[in-house]
Structure 1
Amino acid sequence: MSKKDEILEFYKHYPIDHWIYKGHILKNIIENFDSVKALAIEVNSSIILR
């Protein structure tokens, strides 16, 4: 079995709704990258300061 077939077989087990949901999350992250980046920096800073 080729690597491509293995990958396709793995992803077949997830319903299409799962991938649509993941796509929406990725789209939101890309569209709101600056605010997500600022939030990540803020969270990371608070973890480091503890």
Structure 2
Amino acid sequence: RASKPHCYTLTHTHAHSRTHTQSYTHSRRHTESYTHTVVHTQSYTQTQSYTHT
């Protein structure tokens, strides 16, 4: 056999990060401070291997 084994590897990585910060300050008789932080992280990894002899 003169044919060599063929290996095929595919790796796909997707990462998404989003940060949202909202600040609200209200002052009338007293001072109110409001801070809202949202952090969203999504990671996706796919590995596919194919071997043909």
Relative to the length of structure 2, the TM-score reads 0.13
Structure whose alpha-carbon radius of gyration is higher: 2
- Greater strand share, structure number: 2
Relative to the length of structure 1, the TM-score reads 0.14
